[in-house]
Amino acid sequence: MRFRDGQWLVAEGMRVEYAEEVYRITETETPAGKGLSLLCPSKKIMTRGDVLNLSSLSIVCFLPIVLPQWPAPDSHPGHRTRHPRRPLRHHHPLARRPPSRPQLRPLPRRPSRLNLLHHQLRRRHHPHVRHPLRHRLLHPHDFAISFHPSHLPPTKHLTTLLNRSVGLAYSPATSNPLQTADMRNLKHYIFTQTTLGVGESVHGLGERFGAFNKVGQQVNLWNADGGTSSDQAYKNISFWMSSRGYGIFIDTPERVELEIGSERCCRVQTSVEGQRLRWYIIYGPTPKEVLERYSILTGKPGGVPGWSFGLWLSTSFTTSYDEGTVNSFLEGMKERDIPVEVFHFDCFWLRAFQWCDFVFDEDMFPDPKGQISRLKASGMVKKVCVWTNPYLGQASPVFKEAVEKGYLLKRKNGDVFQWDLWQTGMGIVDFTNPAACGWFVSCLERLFDMGVDSIKTDFGERIPHEDVQWFDTAVDPKRMHNYYAFIYNKLVYETLQKRYGADEAVLFARTATAGTQRFPLTWGGDCESTPEAMAESIRGGLSLGLSGFAFWSVDIGGFEGYPAPWIYKRWVAFGLLCSHSRLHGSNSYRVPWTVDEDDKGDEGCSATLAKWTHLKARLMPYIFAQAQDSIRRGLPLSLRAMCIEFPEDPTSWTLDSQFMLGESLLVAPVFEEDGDVQFYLPKGRWTNFFTGEVKSGPGWAEERHSFATLPLYVREGTLLVLGREGERRTVYDYTEAVEVRTYFAVEGTKAVLVDSEGAEVGVLEVGKGGEVKGQEKLKGESVVKVTEVEDIREALTRDPNFSKSKFNPYTNIPAGAPELPWIR
């Protein structure tokens, strides 16, 4: 929303009034603690008469609050964690009315424990705790507030609210205050403008597929089904990260419009329709610290089981399939040595025109329970997922019952809200009705009784906000549009948890809002089968990771269209290095032999998919340990933006076509058919995972890759725990017969060992003399290897009996090499 026409004029049809000075400051007490209330009139008060006939804004700034380092509730079984500092809150309640429900609350995964900490905080004084962030009024009669770290001088501010940066607007423009007596034909907006520093970049705001740096963009936080080639987003998250070491969370689920260096080049403008705006400024100074504190405010990511990291296979969207088709696909994957962990039944497991009434199409699947049982008994797949959505087509026999019992959203005149967008005459399940929730849960439980293990929660974006009446009459329909994603996924996730256990629940969601990271996992939505769409998807995954989401997936090969074999194979390499990996399309299958006419060569689609699936299985000891750390700290596992690991490197804030998998592996997908790729290596020594070649950063590199490799580099100072060579399983004992590689490890370098449930069972650590401590936790024929290429060459020099022909091309370790000294 733009309120001005250039720097000097007000936009046509707008009346804009600003907080012109801070007239009075008073202390205030709120449930969150002490604060300062600022009375800010919309003109400078020079005489006593100036206080009449003008608007004013009330701004409440909460004083910085830091939680002591009390023990936190465990974020995952088997882990004990330290409670990080509580996010610092800066509220802007520009308010004349209380917020309508529902409003996102800062509830953690286990709220009773954290609520107790809040209770203790209000009753205890901790003078020894230094506030890491302060706000400062710059002049008593001007409106200007500066935010700066307390350990730095005030001139080193993070951001400021300067003159004419907080205000209200009417549309259409009013000329007389009497006009505001009737607001039915007036729109009222509240906005703030924080300053953008020189060179500052802005990131996050959900799964956004455009430019990684949002400066220069107009962003509308309003969930929409727009695919990956537009400025619309399935997952709009009202949180953004600055390259200057802070983040801002806008605490509302309603439509938020941002002008990020677009209306004014030097400011980020946040506006909402209404009379109240509240946001939190969260200081890091590192992105990891910002995300960790944000996750305490909105919720830690939920845990996911090890099996979910394996390959998921569907038969795609509009393709025809029955039990025979499913069996033939899984048998074909087994023949080609491609292990499948989860089989997914997409939309047409249901009868046409009856989506989504949870009833299998009996013509195609006459015995669904038996079929699922046979699938699992065959060993070709371990888990089964089905597609659902929160809509109900009028043709379903269940529709009449849902209408009679009030399960569906209504119009204001009492009629059921229906439209033909997606399903003929479909209604929308009203999750503010407890009875509707109970019915939906009972439908899910019938699927679980059949053997279904996971649910794909599709849609939830197209929620109307005009002429609607929710069962809970207190909710604001405009806030429900985005918030619906939260209550929809929450209901399904908690139902899965109740059946399968707290950390065995997995849903596959497309839509999200702030806080939905508690209900993993999500995928990137509908993308085309092009290299450009793959790049769009990467940008979306990076932005979502900077919005507090730990786990993310993508439709490998692209959703729309028919991927060329080379695109499919490049996408396979990228997709198997995402946290989760799924083969899925729209009107064409994604089993590899249908893409390249069953090319049986070493670089055919089948061989390529097998290689990358095997590699991910080998990486599971590292991936699963990193997953637990991501859950605990609120960090993305993959795709992890480079700036999270290397915030001090300005280039890392510009990189939108590569990412980190956890903290130690750099991944640069290839977008060219010939394999040419350019990527950036931050400061330090980086070792090619496949060849052992070492490159030094910072700097750009260019390489050419076959379909069996891509730039996968290991960070200096890493102990990398891998499964045994030839490992095909996703879930196994991650401490037995493993391979531990050291990459320029120094004293203190660590690697956490976890079991197949994610519980920590030990830590490997390089000691002062280069020895590895904690090896007693390793079982079987586990080995520790040095992979620095310089040391291998030295070993070859010392022992001429070794030759390059004896190198294992996969690990670059000389076959039968003697134990080499640890390099510190």
Cis, peptide link before residue 285, omega less than 30° from 0: yes
Q: Is residue 395 part of a domain?
A: no
Given a contact cutoff of 8 angstroms between Cβ atoms, the answer to whether 202 and 260 are in contact is: yes
* 725 vs 615: CA distance, rounded Å: 9
pLDDT tens-place string over residues 382-432? 999 999 999 999 999 999 999 999 999 999 999 999 999 999 999 999 999
Provide the token pair at 595: 């893409």
Q: Is residue 401 part of a domain?
A: no
Provide the token pair at 446: 């019938």
* 137 vs 133: CA distance, rounded Å: 14
The beta-carbon contacts of 44-47 under 8 Å, at least 24 apart in sequence, are 44/20, 44/141, 45/21
- Amino acid letter for position 502: A
* 448 vs 436: CA distance, rounded Å: 19
Given a contact cutoff of 8 angstroms between Cβ atoms, the answer to whether 37 and 27 are in contact is: yes
CA-nearest of 410, 455, 448, 414 to 429 is 410
Provide the token pair at 122: 């209000």
What's the confidence (pLDDT) of residue 134?
Answer: 62
Q: What is the mean pLDDT of the chain?
A: 87
Q: Check if 458 is active-site.
A: yes
Residue 199 is given by DSSP the state T
Given a contact cutoff of 8 angstroms between Cβ atoms, the answer to whether 36 and 30 are in contact is: no
Task: Give me the domain span that covers residue 446.
Answer: 306-388+433-461+475-633
216 and 74: one domain? Answer: yes
Tell me which residues of the chain have a pLDDT lower than 50: 65-131, 789-824
Among 21, 346, 430, 526, which one carries the catalytic annotation?
526
What's the CATH number where 16 sits? Answer: 2.60.40.1760
Number of domains in the chain: 3
Q: Could you tell me the CA-to-CA distances from 33 to 67, 86, 511 in Å, in that order?
A: 12, 13, 34
Give φ, ψ of 49 to 5 degrees: -70, -15
CA-nearest of 715, 621, 706 to 667 is 715
Of 633, 662, 678, the last residue of a domain is: 633
**Strand-pair category, 9-10 with 4-5:** antiparallel
CA-nearest of 314, 451, 457, 455 to 385 is 455
pLDDT tens-place string over residues 251-289? 999 999 999 999 999 999 999 999 999 999 999 999 999
100 and 248: one domain? Answer: yes
Q: Could you tell me the CA-to-CA distances from 31 to 28, 121, 123, 249 in Å, in that order?
A: 10, 11, 12, 19
* 577 vs 126: CA distance, rounded Å: 45
Q: How many helices (H) and strands (E) does the chain have?
A: 12, 40
* 207 vs 233: CA distance, rounded Å: 6
* 324 vs 346: CA distance, rounded Å: 15
Name the CA dihedral angle for 58, 158, 294, 227, rounded to a multiple of 10 degrees: 90
Of 240, 270, 298, the last residue of a domain is: 298
Q: Scanning the structure block, which residue is given the tokens 């004014």? A: 264
Of 609, 633, 657, the last residue of a domain is: 633
What's the CATH number where 680 sits? Answer: 2.60.40.1180
CA-nearest of 66, 73, 86 to 113 is 73
| Packing angle of the helix pair 565-575, 531-545 (nearest 10 deg) | 10
Instruction: Provide the 3-class DSSP secondary structure of residue 618.
Output: helix
Given a contact cutoff of 8 angstroms between Cβ atoms, the answer to whether 758 and 503 are in contact is: yes
448 and 505: one domain? Answer: yes
CA-nearest of 261, 262, 223 to 242 is 261
Q: Is residue 404 part of a domain?
A: no
625 and 648: one domain? Answer: no
163 and 18: one domain? Answer: yes
Provide the token pair at 712: 């996968």
* 770 vs 68: CA distance, rounded Å: 36
Given a contact cutoff of 8 angstroms between Cβ atoms, the answer to whether 301 and 580 are in contact is: no
Q: Is residue 603 part of a domain?
A: yes
Q: Is residue 788 part of a domain?
A: yes
Provide the token pair at 439: 């019915």
Given a contact cutoff of 8 angstroms between Cβ atoms, the answer to whether 282 and 249 are in contact is: yes
Residue 805 is given by DSSP the state G
74 and 156: one domain? Answer: yes
Among 458, 476, 656, 788, which one carries the catalytic annotation?
458
263 and 211: one domain? Answer: yes
- Angle 447-450-455 (CA atoms, 0-180°, nearest 5)? 35
Given a contact cutoff of 8 angstroms between Cβ atoms, the answer to whether 606 and 598 are in contact is: yes
Q: Check if 461 is active-site.
A: yes
Q: Could you tell me the CA-to-CA distances from 497 to 164, 270, 398, 490, 505 in Å, in that order?
A: 49, 37, 26, 10, 5
CA-nearest of 95, 29, 94 to 62 is 29
Q: Is residue 259 part of a domain?
A: yes
- Angle 434-437-441 (CA atoms, 0-180°, nearest 5)? 140
SS3 annotation, 653-722:
HHCCCCEEECCCEEECCCCCCCCEEEEEEEEEEEEECCCCCEEEEEEEEEEECCCCCCCEEEECCEEEEE
Q: Is residue 446 part of a domain?
A: yes
Given a contact cutoff of 8 angstroms between Cβ atoms, the answer to whether 220 and 206 are in contact is: no
Element (H, E) at 150: none
121 and 200: one domain? Answer: yes
315 and 284: one domain? Answer: no
pLDDT tens-place string over residues 522-579? 999 999 999 999 999 999 999 999 999 999 999 999 999 999 999 999 999 999 999 9
Among 461, 727, 739, 788, which one carries the catalytic annotation?
461
* 410 vs 428: CA distance, rounded Å: 9
Give φ, ψ of 566 to 5 degrees: -65, -40
Which residues sit opposite 256 in a β-bridge?
221
What's the confidence (pLDDT) of residue 135?
Answer: 61
Provide the token pair at 636: 């993305």
* Cβ atoms within 10 Å of 809's Cβ, excluding its own: 8
Q: Is residue 399 part of a domain?
A: no
Provide the token pair at 698: 């910072």
108 and 140: one domain? Answer: yes
275 and 172: one domain? Answer: yes
Provide the token pair at 30: 């709120």
665 and 607: one domain? Answer: no
